[in-house]
Amino acid sequence: MNKWVYGFGGGTADGAAEMKNLLGGKGANLAEMSRLGLPVPPGFTVTTELCTFFYGNDRSYPADLPDQVSAAMAAIEKTVGAKFGDAGNPLLVSVRSGARASMPGMMDTVLNLGLNDVTVEGLAKRTGDPRFAYDSYRRFIQMYGDVVLGVEHFQFEEELERLKRGRGLTLDTDLTAEDWQSLVGRYKDVVADTLEAPFPQDPQEQLWGAIGAVFGSWMNQRAITYRRLHDLPAEWGTAVNVQAMVYGNMGDDCATGVAFTRNPSIGENAFYGEFLINAQGEDVVAGIRTPQPLTLAEKAAGNSTLPAMEEIMPALYAELDEIRRKLEAHYRDMQDLEFTVQKGRLYILQTRNGKRTAQAALKIAVDMCREKLIDESEAVARIEPASLDQLLHPTLDPKAKREVIARGLPASPGAAAGHVVLTADEAEAKAQMGETVILVREETSPEDIHGMHAAAGILTTRGGMTSHAAVVARGMGRPCVSGAGEIRIDPTTRSLTVRGVTVKAGDLITLDGATGEVMKGAVPTVQPDLSDDFATLMEWADATRRMEVRANAETPEDAHTAIKFGAEGIGLCRTEHMFFEAERIVAVRRMIVAETVEERREALAELLPMQRRDFVELFRIMHGLPVTIRLLDPPLHEFLPRSAEEMAEVAKAAHADPLRIRHRATQLRESNPMLGHRGCRLGISYPEIYEMQARAVFEAALEVAGADGTTVTPEVMIPLAFAREEIEILRARIVAVAGEVEKETGTKLNYLVGTMIELPRAALRAEDLARSAEFFSFGTNDLTQTTFGISRDDSAAFLPAYQAAGIIEQDPFVTLDPDGVGELVRIACERGRIGRPDIKLGICGEHGGDPASIRFCESVGLDYVSCSPYRVPIARLAAAQAALAKGTEVATTA
């Protein structure tokens, strides 16, 4: 018999922390906390394997599951001293999701399950609080009706508002027990009218309905979107956790809250969180009420007038603080806790590794290493490489003028300016059209995730530091200001008002997520000042990784940025990008439309000093580090004159008839220029172009070496080759030019000649190519296009459908396809080493900055990766993690 159900509570548990894949993160941690003797309400976990069964068997359950659930429920009843469905002493439970990776708010939850028209009376008598009992019942009907029965949430909210208006009340807390009882009747009518069936009264029917709804929510749209954004496989599935209810809303000796063992925004080693007196858990994260600070230090820092838990519940706070220390020491990571105080007794409902900003992640990892909780390798492995993007982009210029119109909570650091949008759909639509937007909402919900992802920043008027907006924004690296309560949003006029200032939808505002400030207009930004923790972690990463990290750069600005971020050379200098400047483009066009060698050489002579100057600057900045220079690889259509004015300009410079220029331009146009007369084909047809570039490279190398004694060893790269003969012909030209420069200067040159592997044939013929090439650089942008037969410029229109259909997991232009493109890279590496055992191997496509692709590069033994300058730190960290992972695999295999 399969074991589908694992119990926990009362100091024991069937599961443990290491069973996360089977029990999900929440279930595994509940089991672990029970084993640690912490005050965890008892419950049971239905495994992720059951989720797989559920979807594989037309949403049905195995025959032995009901008996296992009944036995587990009986164990809860024994521990709690109440019985599920009992009229006098009812056991009530929560039913929650729990995937192996945290997905906050993405799946469904049902609370207060087990209430019906009979048990609600038993709850009222047992607690002596009919108001609490009927409030719990109406919450249950609303949540169960929405999550399980599919009744729209707003229908219940309308009934609540109608009741309050009829009673002349504005706050839920003003409603009496009789009001809640009346509302329960209205809610049941809503269900009956909508579904033409009564609200279910049988607790067993309620339980199985909730279990099915939680499993079903694994495939809801917001969960699918979240998994896509965070690269989580659909086949993982979710577990379901059924747990005895405890209540933070039974009076003033009750509370509920969320806490972090360290500050999740800045990483400071200080207890951090929020709580509410006489409230349920959803009240804290939903932003319905303004939460109170946990500690006196938080109260002072936030200038709050609300009492802190530390001062009004000192004994319970001390107990919670001790649990915080115990959990952090046990898990050796910052924890995110949910807790409830029921009638003066503390319960821990959940712990998980807390989501944090990149800044906080760095500080926590470095501090924990210094505190001897983890070692340097684990600190390096802890940081998500892509999260470093949060630290590598501009922040607000402190010297710039700013018109602050409101302040909220600094929920997620960073700064962004954009046009105001008021809905998630509008944010997504405008972002797709290239507009930078700020999503402004009273509060966000999981349904807004697509708009939050599209927005540059998020502003909410309600909610605290642990609200949905805050947590999701921190995970995404979006700046967020939450709880800006002074702002009023008017959906009718599509505007915001605050302190007499009106901002309309479409107007520009700026957010500073580090201070909580909201500013009118766009405020200028400055480059980030990276912390000492960043430098420390990068040192540890550099000591760990095997592969070098270079940058793709062709301008001095790019090269300086690359050096600042730790690049160890330039892995791709695209020389064609140097030709778009106004002073050069006419000469380039003259070169392209030239019909004779003489005309071409005349244009090239004009370009030579410009190219030489370009390379001198790069060589000086890189100061002896390797620089790989790709010879000209336009597609030609990128440079051809198009307008009559451009034609006339080229004709004038070439002293030619404009009609002739127009005719030549027409001749050169291609049906498929990406596979046309480009790359080394251009060099074969017009060798004088590559001769000019080679001379510029070699003269620049000698100029820099002569000026300061720096050893410059340029790597000259021939693009788009598919045959050894192409490389041989062009290599001979390059070597001849080098010989001429050596003869002219009397100085010996050091250089390498290699090729880009961008075509499947080149990968398959790598052994032959390597006999003429001293290095390979995999141009995986084109290699992906030519392997898949799709254009990266057009594929966005259909690749999402392929991902949704499960044909591909990732966009192959973002993450290297390991099975097709990767197999060609692997073949080329193996065969290239046969042809030249000491061949240097690297990658210079966009994949060089993608962590998953870098892991693949480590697996095939590339010598370096090259990426955009701002992704260099990401690549350094990813390369270190790839080396650690490979070392672990080797050790495990051994």
Q: Is the pLDDT of residue 595 over 70?
A: yes
Give the list of residues 6+ apart from residue 470 with CB closer than 8 angstroms, or none.
409, 411, 412, 463, 464, 480, 482
713 pLDDT band (50/70/90 cuts)?
very high
d(CA 517, CA 414): 11
Average the pLDDT over 260-267 and give the result.
93
Q: Is the pLDDT of residue 429 over 60?
A: yes
Task: Tell me the per-residue pLDDT of 5-22, one tens digit each, with 9 for 90 and over.
Answer: 999 999 999 999 999 999
pLDDT, greater one: 698 or 708: 698
637 pLDDT band (50/70/90 cuts)?
low
465 pLDDT band (50/70/90 cuts)?
low
Q: Is the pLDDT of residue 509 over 90?
A: yes
280 with 248: CB under 8 angstroms? Answer: yes
Average the pLDDT over 709-715 and give the result.
92
**Residue 394: its pLDDT value, please?**
65
d(CA 410, CA 196): 47
**Residue 856: its pLDDT value, please?**
98
**Residue 249: its pLDDT value, please?**
86
Q: Is the pLDDT of residue 318 over 70?
A: yes
Known active-site residue 480:
no
Query: From the candidates 844, 847, 857, 867, which is the catalytic residue?
Result: 844
Give the list of residues 6+ apart from residue 807 with CB closer than 8 angstroms, or none.
none
d(CA 228, CA 238): 16
- Out of 180-189, 221-230, 333-342, pick the least confident: 221-230
Question: What pTM does this model have?
Answer: 0.78
**Residue 462: its pLDDT value, please?**
85
Geometric angle at alpha carbon 431, from 429 and 435, rounded to 5°: 120
Q: Phi, psi (5° rounding) for residue 176?
A: -95, 175
Query: From the candidates 254, 468, 480, 847, which is the catalytic residue?
Result: 468
On average, the pLDDT of the chain sits at: 91
Task: Tell me the per-residue pLDDT of 410-420, one tens digit each, with 9 for 90 and over.
Answer: 888 789 999 99
559 with 570: CB under 8 angstroms? Answer: yes
868 pLDDT band (50/70/90 cuts)?
confident
Torsion angle, alpha carbons of 188, 189, 194, 197, to 10:
70
pLDDT, greater one: 779 or 513: 779
For the chain, give the percent of residues with pLDDT over 70. Answer: 96
pLDDT, greater one: 145 or 574: 145
Q: Is the pLDDT of residue 436 over 60?
A: yes
Known active-site residue 844:
yes
d(CA 626, CA 730): 21
d(CA 633, CA 782): 12
253 with 343: CB under 8 angstroms? Answer: yes
846 pLDDT band (50/70/90 cuts)?
confident
Q: Is the pLDDT of residue 441 over 70?
A: yes
d(CA 732, CA 740): 12
Q: Is the pLDDT of residue 495 over 80?
A: yes
**Residue 171: its pLDDT value, please?**
79
Q: Is the pLDDT of residue 638 over 70?
A: no
Geometric angle at alpha carbon 561, from 558 and 562, rounded to 5°: 85
Q: Is the pLDDT of residue 344 over 70?
A: yes
Task: Tell me the per-residue pLDDT of 189-226, one tens digit each, with 9 for 90 and over.
Answer: 999 999 999 999 999 999 999 999 999 999 988 888 88
